[in-house]
């Protein structure tokens, strides 16, 4: 039996989250804030930046990504939340993948949980404004500045 790509992505994300939970005995957490600008026509891109606050220090972040699927429009999303299962600030850097669908006309709320290859888990919520319709596979890369 063949699983649809969205289901495969969801299973992979759950596996990463489960593994992160097992290895988080000595890990720490921090707060994160991201501003992401997204636009596209079938193939989309995103760029932005943000900050990570970890153990009393603030670190600058860059965000970039690509979306493939049904992507139309443009939006600005401001997200804030927690990052868990990190040992050092650089653990936040990496590639985060997601499969999803959404529609933003004017403004709306957004919440998402993502994990990277190092086990860092982002729990984010915020507001999206713009005109954007999507049903896509997307990747988001976070780097330290």
For 16, the domain range is: 5-144
The model carries a pTM of 0.74
Residue 136: predicted pLDDT? 56
Q: Does the pLDDT at position 68 exceed 80?
A: no
Please write the tens of the pLDDT for every residue from 15-61.
555 555 555 457 899 999 999 998 988 888 899 999 999 999 999 99
Q: What is the CATH number of the domain that holds 74?
A: 2.40.128
Q: Which residue has the higher pLDDT, 9 or 130?
A: 130
Judged against a pLDDT cut of 80, whether residue 133 lies above it is answered with: no
Quick one: pLDDT at residue 137? Answer: 60
Answer positive or negative: Cα dihedral of 91, 94, 100, 106: positive
Question: How many structural domains comprise the chain?
Answer: 1
More confident residue, 80 or 16: 80
Mean model confidence pLDDT for the chain: 81
Mapping DSSP onto H, E and C, the string for the chain reads CCCCHHHHHHHHHHHHHHHHHHCCCCCEEEEEEEEEEEEEEEEEEEEEEEEEEECCEEEEEEEEEEEEEEEEEEEEEEEEEEEEEECCHHHHCEEEEEEEEEEEEEEEEEEEEEECCCCCEEEEEEEEEEEEEEEEEEEEEEEEC
Return the pLDDT at 26.
76
Task: Give the pLDDT score at 20.
Answer: 52
Beta strands 121-144 and 57-86: pairing type?
antiparallel
pLDDT the model gives residue 24 = 47
Does the pLDDT at position 107 exceed 90? no
Q: Could you give the angle at the alpha carbon of 65 between the alpha carbons of 27 and 52, nearest 5°?
A: 35
């Amino acid at each position: 039996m063949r699983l649809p790509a969205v289901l495969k992505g969801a299973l992979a994300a759950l596996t990463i989250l489960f593994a992160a939970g097992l290895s988080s005995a000595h890990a720490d957490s921090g707060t994160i804030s991201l501003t992401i600008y997204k636009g596209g026509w079938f193939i989309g891109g995103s760029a932005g930046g943000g900050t990570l606050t970890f153990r009393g220090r603030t670190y600058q972040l860059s965000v970039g990504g690509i979306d493939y699927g049904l992507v139309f429009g443009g939006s600005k999303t401001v997200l804030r939340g927690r990052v868990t299962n990190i040992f050092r600030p650089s653990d936040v850097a990496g590639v985060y993948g997601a499969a999803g669908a959404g529609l933003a006309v004017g403004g709306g709320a957004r919440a998402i949980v993502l994990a990277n290859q190092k086990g860092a888990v982002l729990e984010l919520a915020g507001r999206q404004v713009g005109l954007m319709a999507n049903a896509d596979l997307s990747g988001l890369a976070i780097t330290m500045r």
